[in-house]
Amino acid sequence: MRQEGHCHLVSYCHYLCGPFRKQLGKKVHIESYGCQMNLSDSEIVASILAREGYERAERPEEADLVLLNTCSIRDKAEQTVLNRLDGLTHLKRKNPEMKVGVLGCMAERMRADLLEKKQLVDLVVGPDAYRSLPGLLDEIGTGQKAVNVLLSRDETYADIAPVRLQTNGVTAFISIMRGCDNMCAFCVVPFTRGRERSREPITIVREARDLVRNAYREVTLLGQNVDSFHWSGADGRTTDFADLLAMVAEVDPLLRIRFSTSHPKDMTDKVLEVMAHHPNICSYIHLPVQSGSSAVLQRMNRGYDRDRYLDRIAAIRHFMPDAAISTDIITGFCGETEEDHQDTLSLMREVRYDMAYMFKYSERPRTLAARNYADDVPDDVKGRRLQEVIDLQMRHAADRNQLHVGKEQETLVEGVSKRSADHLFGRNTQNAVVILPKCNAGHADLRPGDLITARIRSATSGSLQGELVRIDHPAPIPKDTIHA
């Protein structure tokens, strides 16, 4: 999604396909760049191609088809993909029969350039056109190039069961809606992903139940703006995001629920009440602010001012005093003065975020800002302001994490630590990473999927270090395999 500003995430996605059908012996490798929504979309693509008989390729060198699922939210994200395409050129020379495709937001925004300037690109498919992949693959099989970037007003892929690309088997994404009706001045999402539309709630609940059956312990509900989720049934009954959140939480009390992304202009007290009522809805909210200056927020067309944003922060603290809050911040937006920048720093000091995604403004073609405003803040000023935001946030993150030290906290173990095979990592309800020894005296070795109580011993700005108190609920066995 644009999960607002979440272009920090770059995931290399592989998947294990089901029974072959049409493409006997064909292999595909998918790389997903950008936000969580892109990873979720890659899971849809994986499912569609599995039906066509494509098998897993761990590396692009092994693949007949290489697909890059792309992000356009910032110029840096696009440059990363363009550089990756250049890096695939040598593989194409070695294997001229290999096909390369670009999916997602860049496909919609840069289709002509990708096909003309990047000669190795055979296939360009936008976010709403993944169902057409089989036919497009037939086209490129005849030596043609193929493109479909048509946007849809109703496509949600609700009937397609995703092939889960997450290898930990513990956490998963559920896309609850697509597109965006907000016209934030800096954002390309309305142009690359189209109008907002929500999935039928029963399909979301069914997907959550399937995940529980397959031993998943946590789901993240995804949407560009989850707070604007809305479904009207044939009986005239409506479901808003708070209703949906409660429905998913009631699937299983041991299924942890997260969501992203909320919008300050749309977040309601009803959502916060539901969160406070259900213990398995995690006490964590990502609430992008973008700027602490009301004047800048107005130019950004965000639909709220500083006071409205702080009102939502106060509401979160009221309903969930221990909740963690993260945000997105853009420095150097069009016309931003030094006073505007200081307003952002002062808001950060007032809120004291647990975590933040922080970026310099980069102008994106077709956006309101590109059409209406001059990108007039010098790059060195943007960089200096960004560094000041980063430095302040690092201090706040360290202080916020210190508040966990000495406490016992429910933690979901997710996988092996990147730094040590002798340690695992998990996350507490506030989304803080907890590092834990794999082996603990008097206990069985920890495994991904274990829901435990951990005592936090120490903290840094980036993580918590904990020790096992007890295993409350061992990792479940997938119900589909119990009688196998």
* Contact call for residues 50 and 18 (beta carbons, < 8 A): yes
Which pLDDT does position 477 carry in this prediction?
87
Separation between Cα atoms, residue 278 and residue 276, nearest integer Å: 6
Q: Residue 17's pLDDT band (boundaries 50, 70, 90)?
A: very low
Q: Is pLDDT above 90 for 20?
A: no
- H/E segment holding residue 79: helix 75-94
Separation between Cα atoms, residue 398 and residue 394, nearest integer Å: 6
* CA neighbor of 264 nearest in space, from 291, 231, 295: 291
Kindly state whether residues 123 and 212 are assigned to the same domain: no
* Beta-bridge partners for 412: 427, 451
* CA neighbor of 39 nearest in space, from 130, 225, 166: 166
Residue 161 belongs to a domain: no
Separation between Cα atoms, residue 473 and residue 70, nearest integer Å: 38
For residue 457, give the 3-state DSSP assignment. strand
Q: Residue 28's pLDDT band (boundaries 50, 70, 90)?
A: very high
Q: What is the domain count for the chain?
A: 3
* Spatial CB neighbours of 372, under 8 Å, sequence gap ≥ 6: 185
Which domain CATH number covers 44?
3.40.50.12160
Kindly state whether residues 221 and 141 are assigned to the same domain: no
DSSP output for 263-294: -TTT--HHHHHHHHH-TTB-SEEE---B-S-H
* Bond from prior residue into 261 cis (ω within 30 degrees of 0): yes
Q: Residue 11's pLDDT band (boundaries 50, 70, 90)?
A: very low
Which pLDDT does position 5 carry in this prediction?
39
Distances (CA, A) of 319 to 42, 262, 276: 36, 16, 6
Which pLDDT does position 22 carry in this prediction?
52
Q: Is pLDDT above 60 for 3?
A: no
- H/E segment holding residue 327: strand 324-331
What tens digit of pLDDT does each residue of 331-343 get?
A: 999 999 999 999 9
The pair of structure tokens assigned to 306 is: 């500083």
| pLDDT > 70: percent of the chain | 94
Q: Is pLDDT above 50 for 12?
A: no
Mean pLDDT of 229-233: 95
The residue ranges of DSSP E strands in 361-405, in sequence order, are none
Q: Is pLDDT above 80 for 290?
A: yes
Separation between Cα atoms, residue 216 and residue 170, nearest integer Å: 5
Kindly state whether residues 323 and 424 are assigned to the same domain: no
Which pLDDT does position 359 carry in this prediction?
96
Which pLDDT does position 112 carry in this prediction?
83
Mean pLDDT of 158-185: 91
Which pLDDT does position 480 carry in this prediction?
61
Q: Residue 252's pLDDT band (boundaries 50, 70, 90)?
A: very high
Residue 335 belongs to a domain: yes
Residue with the bigger pLDDT between 217 and 444: it is 217
* CA neighbor of 120 nearest in space, from 176, 163, 82, 149: 82
Mean of all residue pLDDT scores within the chain: 91
Separation between Cα atoms, residue 455 and residue 409, nearest integer Å: 6
Which domain CATH number covers 247?
3.80.30.20
Residue found under tokens 């289709």: 111
Which pLDDT does position 1 carry in this prediction?
37
The pair of structure tokens assigned to 469 is: 């108190």
DSSP-assigned letter for residue 321:
T
Of the listed ranges 11-25, 28-42, 459-473, the one predicted with least confidence: 11-25
Kindly state whether residues 439 and 395 are assigned to the same domain: no
Separation between Cα atoms, residue 101 and residue 125, nearest integer Å: 8
Q: Is pLDDT above 90 for 429?
A: yes
What tens digit of pLDDT does each residue of 258-284 get?
A: 999 999 999 999 999 999 999 999 999
Residue 456 belongs to a domain: yes
What tens digit of pLDDT does each residue of 49-60 get?
A: 999 999 888 899
HEC profile for 191-219?
Answer: HHHCCCEECCHHHHHHHHHHHHHCCCCEE
Domain boundary among 148, 181, 197: 148
The pair of structure tokens assigned to 345 is: 């720093």
- H/E segment holding residue 46: helix 36-51
Amino acid at 473: H
Which domain CATH number covers 414?
2.40.50.140
Q: Residue 23's pLDDT band (boundaries 50, 70, 90)?
A: low
Kindly state whether residues 228 and 357 are assigned to the same domain: yes
Which pLDDT does position 471 carry in this prediction?
96
Which pLDDT does position 32 carry in this prediction?
93
Kindly state whether residues 131 and 220 are assigned to the same domain: no
Residue 4 belongs to a domain: no
Task: Please say whether the dihedral angle defined by the alpha carbons of residues 258, 252, 268 and 282, taken in this order, is positive or negative.
Answer: negative
User: What's phi and psi for 242, nearest 5 deg?
Assistant: -60, -40
Residue 98 belongs to a domain: yes
| pLDDT > 90: percent of the chain | 79
* CA neighbor of 88 nearest in space, from 126, 118, 108: 118
Q: Residue 2's pLDDT band (boundaries 50, 70, 90)?
A: very low
Residue 153 belongs to a domain: no
Residue 256 belongs to a domain: yes
Residue found under tokens 């139940």: 209
Kindly state whether residues 179 and 326 are assigned to the same domain: yes
Residue with the bigger pLDDT between 176 and 22: it is 176
Which pLDDT does position 167 carry in this prediction?
65
Kindly state whether residues 229 and 93 are assigned to the same domain: no
What tens digit of pLDDT does each residue of 134-149 get?
A: 999 999 988 899 999 9
Mean pLDDT of 225-248: 96
Residue 292: give the domain boundaries: 171-400
Q: What is the pTM for the complete model shown? A: 0.89
Domain boundary among 148, 181, 200: 148
Q: Is pLDDT above 90 for 116?
A: no
The pair of structure tokens assigned to 213 is: 């059956």
Separation between Cα atoms, residue 465 and residue 136, nearest integer Å: 49
Mean pLDDT of 350-378: 96
Kindly state whether residues 393 and 441 are assigned to the same domain: no
Q: Is pLDDT above 50 for 482?
A: no
Kindly state whether residues 214 and 184 are assigned to the same domain: yes
The pair of structure tokens assigned to 78 is: 């696009």
For residue 230, give the 3-state DSSP assignment. strand
Angle of CA points 454, 457, 458, to nearest 5° = 125
Kindly state whether residues 414 and 387 are assigned to the same domain: no
Kindly state whether residues 386 and 421 are assigned to the same domain: no
Residue 462 belongs to a domain: yes
